[in-house]
Amino acid sequence: MFAPDGPTFRELFRQAMSSTRGGYDLLAPKFDSTPFRTPDALLQCVVQQLVAGPSFATALDVCCGTGAVMGHIKPLCQKVVGIDFSPGMLAEAERRLASVEGGDVGLVRGDAMALPFDGGFDLVTCFGAFGHVLPPDQPRFLEGIYRALEPGGRFVFVTGDKPRPTHPAFWMSHGFNAAMKVRNALFSPPFVMFYLTFPLPVAVARLVEAGFQPEVRPLGWDERPGLCFVAAHKPS
C-alpha cells in the first residue's frame, strides 16, 4: 500500500483488527517499508543534536520496534538496549542491528508501561510510540523512564505543537482517532493507537510533574520545521 514491498491494505486491516502487540507481530517483516518507521533523515537530525550534548555510554530505546533508532545510536555508545513487547519486531531489530558497527546490543521483550530497569542508562529515547500510551498511562510511563536513567541522564524524543484545524493533519488525526474509538468499542482486544496525545505543551507539563528538567530546541528537520528536539534531564 505504501511501497511495492510494503503491507497491502488487507494486511494493514488484519493488523488493525488484532491486538496492539499482535498487530505489530504481523506487520514486523514489512514494517520498515511503512511510514510508521521513524525516517532516517529525522534520526540524523536527532544524532546531530545528541552529539552536541553530554556524552553517553549506555542507552535505552523504549518501544524500539525494528531498531531504527538503535541503528543510529549504536555507533555512538558502549551499549544500547531496546525494549519492545512484540517478538516479531524484536526479531527484525536483531537481524538489522547485526550489520551495524558500534557498541553492544541488548534486546528485551517487555512492557513500556512497566519498565524493568533501575538506573544503568545515561540516555533513554522513545520515537514513534507515544500514540500507544494513553493519557492516563503517561505518568507511569514517564516514571519508568525516570527510574531507568542515572542521575544527570536525559530522556530524548521529538514532538511538536498540535496542527491547527486549517491543516489537513488535524482532520486526518482526529478522523483516525474517531475510527479507532469505534473499532475499540466494537471489537476486543483493543488496538491502542491515537494521534496527538503527547504534543509539546502536554509533554513539557508531564515531564515536569515526573521530576524532569525539560530543554526544548527546534529539531532542524526541513521536512517538518515545527518538530522540536526535547531533552528531559534527570537532575544529578
Ligand X SMILES: C[S@@+](CC[C@H](N)C(=O)[O-])C[C@H]1O[C@@H](n2cnc3c(N)ncnc32)[C@H](O)[C@@H]1O
Which residues here bind ligand X, judged by CB under 6 A? 20, 24, 36-38, 63-65, 68-69, 84-86, 89, 111-113, 127-129, 132
Residue labelled with grid coordinates 494513553: 134
Of 194 and 212, which CB lies nearer to ligand X in the complex structure?
Answer: 194
Of 33 and 220, which CB lies nearer to ligand X in the complex structure?
Answer: 33
CB of 156 to ligand X, least distance (A): 13
CB of 39 to ligand X, least distance (A): 9
Of 23 and 163, which CB lies nearer to ligand X in the complex structure?
Answer: 23
Contact 89, 65 (CB under 8 A): yes
3-state secondary structure of 174: helix
Q: Tell which phi-psi region holds residue 101, choosing left (phi > 0), alpha (psi between -120 and 50) or beta.
A: beta
Side chain identity at residue 121, one-letter code: F
Nearest to 83 by CA among 69, 101, 95: 69
Of 5 and 235, which CB lies nearer to ligand X in the complex structure?
Answer: 5
Strand locations in 85-222 (E): 104-109, 121-126, 149-159, 213-218
Contact 170, 163 (CB under 8 A): yes
CB of 236 to ligand X, least distance (A): 28
Q: Tell me which residue has its CB nearest to ligand X.
A: 65
CB of 7 to ligand X, least distance (A): 13
Q: How many CB atoms lie within 10 A of CB 179?
A: 11
CB of 155 to ligand X, least distance (A): 14
Of 56 and 85, which CB lies nearer to ligand X in the complex structure?
Answer: 85
